[in-house]
Every structure is written in C-alpha cells, then in structure tokens.
Structure 1
Amino acid sequence: MNNGITACGGAFRYEFLMQIRRRSLWISLLLVGLLQIMIYVPHLNALINLYFQIPINQTMAELALMVNTLLPAAFGCLIADRLPRDRRTRVEELLMTMPQSSGVRLIGKYLGSVCATLIPVLVFFLLGTGFVLYHSGDMACIPLALAAFAVIILPGILFISAFSLACPAIMWVPLYQFCFVGYWFWGNFLGPRNGIPTLSDTILTPSGKLMAAGIFGLDPKHSGIIASPIQGWESLSLLIGLAGLALCVLWLVLRWQQARQ
C-alpha cells in the first residue's frame, strides 16, 4: 500500500514538474486567455450591467462558464502529448522496469498533468473573481468562486483530460488535437436550434452549463439551458464517472501494448 502511494506520488511530482515547466503550456493558455478577454472587452460595460444585476451565486456561475469557453480547448490539446512524449524520450521504457503497478503510475501521471495545466486556468479564474469582488464588494463571491470552480469547471476538465490522455494511445496526436477542438465547439456550443445533431445541452456537456443552471440556478437566458438540480448533479457525476472509465480503458490498452512488446 505504501509502495503504491509512493509510486503514485513520484509519478505525480514528475508529471507536474514536467508540465508546469513547459513554455508551450503558459504561452498557449495565455494567448487563448487573452483572446477571450479581447472578445469580452468591447462588451464590458454591457456585461457589468447584465451580470451584476443578478444574484452573486449566478454571477460566479457565469464567470465559470466564461472561463470554460475557450481555455478547455487548449487544455485538452496540451494534455494529449503526455504519453507519446514519454515514448519519444524513452521514459516509458524506464518506468516499465519498475516494480510498481502501471495503474498506480497512470493515476499519478493523470493527476500531475491535470493539476499543472489547471494552474494557468485557475489564475484567469482568480483574476475574474477579483474583478467581481472589486465591482460588487460582496465577499461571498470568494467561497462561491471555490464552489463554482469545483462544480462547474473541474468536472469537465477531468472528463476531457482523461480522454485527451487515453485517445492518443491509439491515435496520432495532431489528428486527435484537431478532432478534439472540433468536438469542443460542436459538443458545447452548437445547440439543437442550429439543426445539427450534437451533445450540447445534454448531461454530457463538459462546459458546465447544466451544473450552472441546475445547481447554481443560472437563469436560462444567461446559460441558454433549463436544468433541474438533479440534472446538474447527474451531469457532474456522469462526467467524472466517464473520466474514470476512460482511464480504466487506457490502463488495459497500455497493459496490452506492453504485453506485445
């Protein structure tokens, strides 16, 4: 048990440090974040008038949805090369010689890469929280920010990270990244009203719209969707559950690949 925890912790530290030191991580998320800010700046006064007239819990939910618009698309692309990178640098061969379970190392790799890549996203979210606090003067936005991050942003991030780690095990990384970006906009922002079959507005929507509407009570005219609290919790649970399933399948695929070598 202790050996497993140690191995998981070692994999977490290695992956966290490798990911957090990548210039591409900071440059990519910074550019995407700045692009999103530039999109909102021309409408800043209208947004302030609109979103500061609603209850503070809904304001924080709307902030979380704003953060979840473009940044997760870059997030998934940055996670996608983690396993192929280990193969290229022959780190995978070194890890295979160790006695600890590959499943334990996989959990550490997943958590380490997710936590490292989350830091720039968290920085943008905290900046937005500071902006809300400055304009509203309501200290309740701080605990609500933590809740919104955990309930609206984190489940979708865990979901896309698991699949972004798993799919490149059997796909060419640039092909997956291209498909993932297309999926992100198709599966989150193209609703049925556009006449295109899509997962958007269902409990499989990782942008957090159902959690914002169902759990935080965000008005449908802001969230674009009507959801009950039960649907919000169902979406949260399903996204996390599918993330776990994707990691289990990845573990089986990696064991099969190792057995063939």
Structure 2
Amino acid sequence: MIATLRHEFGMQIRRPALWIVYGLAFALLLASFQQGYVIPYLGRDYSSHTATALVSVATVVNSLMAMAYGCLIADRLVRDRRLGVDEVLEATPAGRTGRLVGKYLGVCAATAVPIALAYFGRALVYAVTEGEPGALALSLPVFAAMVVPGLLFVGALCLAGPLLVPVQLFRVLFVGYWFWGSLIPANMMPTLSHTLLSPGAHYPEFGFFGPVKPPEGALVDSEYPVYGPWHDAAFNVLRPVASPAVAVLWMGVMVALTVAVLLLIRLHTARTEH
C-alpha cells in the first residue's frame, strides 16, 4: 500500500495537466470570486473576523476547485487497464486491496495539493496583511473540517465512475452532479444540495465556526443565518439545523460513503478479474 501510494502520488503531482487545469481554475477563481477569496466575506456574525475570513476562503476554494479535483482523478484507476499493466501488477507481492487503497490515497493526496496551496496561501497572506498570526493555526481545523471530508468522498466517487461509463462522459456527468448536488439553491428543484449527503455541504462552517444560534424554527432563507431546512424544498429531512453534533455527523457520513464506494470498487475489480 505504501509503495503504491508513493508511486501514485509522484506520478500525479508531476502530471502537467494537473497544474494546467488548476492554473486555469485558479485564474477563474480570482476573476469570478473577488468577494469571498480576494476579499473574504465578513458579513456574518462569527466569533471573529479571522474565522469568518478563513471560512469564506475555504468555501470559495472548495466550490470551484473541487470540480477540477474530481475530473483529474477520473482516469487514474482505469489507466492500468488501458495501458495493459494489470497482469504485471498482479505478479507483484502487493495485495489487490492494498494497491487500491494506496492508489486512492496517493492520487487524492497529490490532486489535493493545489487546493491546499490555494487555501493555505491565502491564509498566510491574510495572517501577514491583517496582523493575525493566529489565522495560520485556525486554518488547519477549518480546512480539515470543511474541505477534506468532501474531497475524500469525491475522490472515491471519481475513481469508481469511469469503471461504469467512459472517462470523458463521466467528467461531464460529474460537473453536472457537482452543480446539482452541491451548489444550486435547495428550493430551486429536488436536489441533494445542502444535505448531509452533499460533499459541498456547509455543516462544519455553521456547526463549528458559524454564527450565533438562530431562534427555534428559523429557516435558512429567513433573515437569520441558519443552515438547515429550506422553505418549500424537497429532502428537508436530510437538512437538520447545523450544530457541532450535526457537523460531526456530516463528516462521518462522508467517510462512510467513501468506504462504501471503495468497497464497491474492490468488489467490481474482483468480479471483472474472474
């Protein structure tokens, strides 16, 4: 597993397409999200402006760059079959499960490096320009809670998808899924956006770092900055009001979905090998 992880990480991090695609995504981010990334959004009543700024940057980075992350991962698992190296890998002493986990961790870690650079680089700039050295320490839990769980699930999903449909088609479908399941308003159409099943949900933002607790029964589109049920939206049963416990629950759901998808990949590869 460790050998596969190191090999996959090295190949992916040296891949020119990774840096080109992320470079274009970052340029789009700078051009389109002046309010949020270049100028962090400070309009909510968080415990401090530092927490608000870091949450704002994490939200913007995750919303846009996660699409590039998923598309860049999509061809990593099917590549071995396409190159005809399956039999060579089978001759090694490494087990199939170890190779799968190593490939998953190595590819996801390497593909997440530009996202981490965009986020922590902005956190560093904020710490220096605003004279807030504590922003560097706070940036770690914000990134770990808000960004990492969703990336774990997206990484597993994008390894699995091209096993069922062609890579290019899957990339188109994934971008559509990301908008439908993470970005669009929940009352626009039936969607998993802003639910416990959405990798782009903001439960850690509001549960761990968010505004003061709203009055009982307040809705997300009311005057109160609550994250939870939307007025006249489908699947509100999957949108409990954010709290620390619900934020932990969302993180656990993302990990559970990740493990489930990896198990399905393992079962699929075992079936096709026979």
Fold equivalence (TM over 0.5) = yes
- Deviation string for 1:182-235 (max 9, x for gaps)? 0101111112222x0011111112124111111222577897724111211111
- Classify the secondary structure of the residue corresponding to 2:187: helix
Query: 2:173 & 2:29 partners in 1: Cα distance?
Result: 21
Higher helix proportion, which one? 1
Amino acid at match of 2:57: L
Asked if 1:50 is matched to 2:52, the reply is: no
Partner of 1:252: 267
Partner of 1:4: none
Asked if 1:98 is matched to 2:131, the reply is: no
Contact kept, 8 Å, 1:215 with 1:233, in 2: the verdict is no
Q: Which has the higher contact order (CA 8 A, sep 6+)?
A: 1
Partner of 1:117: 111
Displacement, 1:101?
1.5
Alignment of 1:1-261 (within 5 A): 8-41=1-34, 43=35, 47-48=39-40, 50=42, 54=46, 55=48, 56-194=50-188, 196-218=189-211, 225-226=227-228, 227-259=242-274
Unpaired stretches in structure 1, ≥5 consecutive residues: 1-7
Contact kept, 8 Å, 1:212 with 1:223, in 2: the verdict is no
- Deviation string for 1:30-88 (max 9, x for gaps)? 110110111123x4899457369851223212211111111000100100101221112
Query: 1:77 & 1:212 partners in 2: Cα distance?
Result: 25
Task: Go from structure 1 to structure 2 and tell me whether the alpha carbon gap of 1:224 and 1:188 turns closer, same or farther (over 3 Å shift).
Answer: farther
Task: Go from structure 1 to structure 2 and tell me whether the alpha carbon gap of 1:192 and 1:40 turns closer, same or farther (over 3 Å shift).
Answer: closer
Q: Which moved more, 1:157-166 or 1:217-226?
A: 217-226
Displacement, 1:99?
3.2
Contact kept, 8 Å, 1:155 with 1:240, in 2: the verdict is yes
Task: Go from structure 1 to structure 2 and tell me whether the alpha carbon gap of 1:134 and 1:78 turns closer, same or farther (over 3 Å shift).
Answer: same
Query: 1:73 & 1:132 partners in 2: Cα distance?
Result: 25
Query: 1:80 & 1:157 partners in 2: Cα distance?
Result: 13
Partner of 2:235: none
Amino acid at match of 2:109: C
Task: Go from structure 1 to structure 2 and tell me whether the alpha carbon gap of 1:48 and 1:84 turns closer, same or farther (over 3 Å shift).
Answer: closer
Unpaired stretches in structure 2, ≥5 consecutive residues: 213-219, 229-241
- TM-score, scaled relative to structure 2: 0.84
RMSD: 2.3
Contact kept, 8 Å, 2:70 with 2:174, in 1: the verdict is yes
Amino acid at match of 1:235: W
Q: Which moved more, 1:13-22 or 1:130-139?
A: 130-139
Query: 2:254 & 2:142 partners in 1: Cα distance?
Result: 16
